[in-house]
Amino acid sequence: MSTTADHSTARLIGRDELNDIEAILSVTNTDADEVVHAVKDNADALFTWDYTLARPALRKLYEKAKTGQWNGETDLPWETPVDQEAVVLANQMNAVAQGQAQYPDHYVGSPVEKWTDKEWMEFGVESQNWTLSQFLHGEQGALICTAKIVETVPWYDAKLYAATQVMDEARHVEVFAKYLDTKLSGHYQINAHLRTLLDDIVNDSRWDMTYLGMQIMVEGLALAAFGFMHQLTTEPLLKQLLRYVMSDEARHVAFGVLSLKEIYEQMSATELRERQEFAFEAAVRMRDRFLQQEVWDHMGVAPRTILPYILSDPTRGLFQQLLFSKIVPNCKKLGLLDAADGWLRQKFTEIEVIQFEDWVDTGVEYEELQLSA
């Protein structure tokens, strides 16, 4: 990500308008059949010979992580049968009960206006496959990034905790892959916007950028997405799987907040502006990935013909806004919202997510998840 003095939206996200459909669709996977993806890791592996426990809050998280390990193979009821079509119907009914329109009138005049129940059902099934696939790819990104944090963070306490998160992320990759393979009906390649973001996080040489990109932005959004699905789904295996993963993820984000709060207090306004830009660019890329372009392609609908309806659908807009309900309060707790003349506050206001700034931050939420476990 650039660190020049140009703070324009075009420079940061590649377009002037947030909803520029052609610009959004220009980010594509150039090799859909790729199996191995190489990214240059421009970071130094740091040894530390200072083994004093200077950060008791991080040590407390490390102790909780050691006792909070669960076994994805034996602690989940994998014998549970999953009927994807029944799950789609149940989710739709649950969404309607929560006040969300099933197929809003907003889509009249669109390419899906005359879709039958059969086509909507197929879309629902493919959407399940796509969503869990992106969860899986994101968790592998977290696995790679946390392994990098073990290498690059200069603090002993943080290295110990990050090592437990590597195990957590390996387990998350394992359970999402198994759920896709044994309970659903297909995989999707990684979304191009998500892949670009993960590439940037791995590629950046600064250890705190790995924290910000993964621990705050990607993990924060994942926690919100998991919570949304956990609330919506009635499928018991997935509900329990998500509950376990959410407990881990809240601890991971809390780890990021604890670590970054200390380092950000020592940074200049110029350095903080770079972090603000990083956070904004990551937020937009994650927003773009939830447009499900790959599912529309699979269904024979050109994404550029349906995206205008999706982007202006108030129901969809609410869902996408809620995804940032974990990110914004954590950015505020880190001091990023109002640092450097409040640049990030202005940008989060522009993408209509600033209203979440006073929602519960993940440190508090982690304690609540532990009490309810």
Please give the average per-residue pLDDT across 135-153, as a whole number: 96
- Structure tokens that stand for 345 in this block: 């506050």
Contacts 24+ apart (CB under 8 A), 119-124: 119/299, 121/85, 121/88, 121/89, 122/299, 123/295, 123/299, 124/85, 124/88, 124/91, 124/92
pLDDT at 351: 84
What confidence tens digit (pLDDT) does each residue in 265-305 have?
999 999 999 999 999 999 888 888 888 999 999 999 999 99
pLDDT at 363: 58
DSSP result, 153-207: ---HHHHHHHHHHHHHHHHHHHHHHHHHHHHSS---PPPHHHHHHHHHHHH---H
Question: Which 3-state string (H, E, C) describes 247-276?
Answer: HHHHHHHHHHHHHHHHHHCCCCHHHHHHHH
Question: Above 60 in pLDDT, residue 6?
Answer: no
b/e sequence 335-351, b meaning 16+ C-beta within 10 Å: bbbebbeebbbebbeee
Among 21-30, 66-75, 259-268, 358-367, the least confident range: 358-367
- Coil, helix or strand at residue 341: helix
Amino acid, single-letter form, for residue 373: A
What confidence tens digit (pLDDT) does each residue in 76-134 have?
999 999 999 999 999 888 877 766 555 557 788 999 999 999 999 999 999 999 999 99
The label of the residue with tokens 């109002």 reads 338
Q: How far apart are CA 169 and CA 237, in angstroms?
A: 19
Global pTM reads 0.90
Predicted confidence band of residue 361 (pLDDT cuts 50, 70, 90): low
User: Taking a C-beta distance cutoff of 8 angstroms, is the pair 249, 223 a contact?
Assistant: yes
Cα Rg of the chain (Å, integer): 20
Q: How far apart are CA 173 and CA 276, in angstroms?
A: 29
User: Taking a C-beta distance cutoff of 8 angstroms, is the pair 161, 58 a contact?
Assistant: yes
Q: How far apart are CA 110 and CA 307, in angstroms?
A: 10
Predicted confidence band of residue 369 (pLDDT cuts 50, 70, 90): low
Among 188-192, 262-266, 321-325, the least confident range: 321-325
Sign of CA dihedral 222, 216, 293, 97: positive
Q: How far apart are CA 77 and CA 72, in angstroms?
A: 9
DSSP result, 279-306: HHHHHHHHHHHTT-HHHHHHTT--HHHH
Residue among 171, 200, 184, 304 nearest 237 (CA): 184
Please give the average per-residue pLDDT across 138-152, as a whole number: 96
- Coil, helix or strand at residue 138: helix
For residue 200, report the phi and psi dihedrals to the nearest 5 degrees.
-65, -40
Instruction: Please give the torsion angle defined by the CA atoms of residues 160, 163, 167 and 169, in that order, rounded to the nearest 10 degrees.
Output: 120
Q: CA angle, 231 as apex, 229 and 283 as ends, to 5°?
A: 45
- Coil, helix or strand at residue 2: coil
Residue of higher predicted confidence among 364 and 47: 47
What confidence tens digit (pLDDT) does each residue in 150-205 have?
999 999 999 999 999 999 999 999 999 999 999 999 999 999 999 999 999 999 99
Predicted confidence band of residue 365 (pLDDT cuts 50, 70, 90): low
What confidence tens digit (pLDDT) does each residue in 195-238 have?
999 999 999 999 999 999 999 999 988 998 999 899 889 999 99
pLDDT at 171: 98
Predicted confidence band of residue 16 (pLDDT cuts 50, 70, 90): confident
Q: How far apart are CA 361 and CA 216, in angstroms?
A: 11
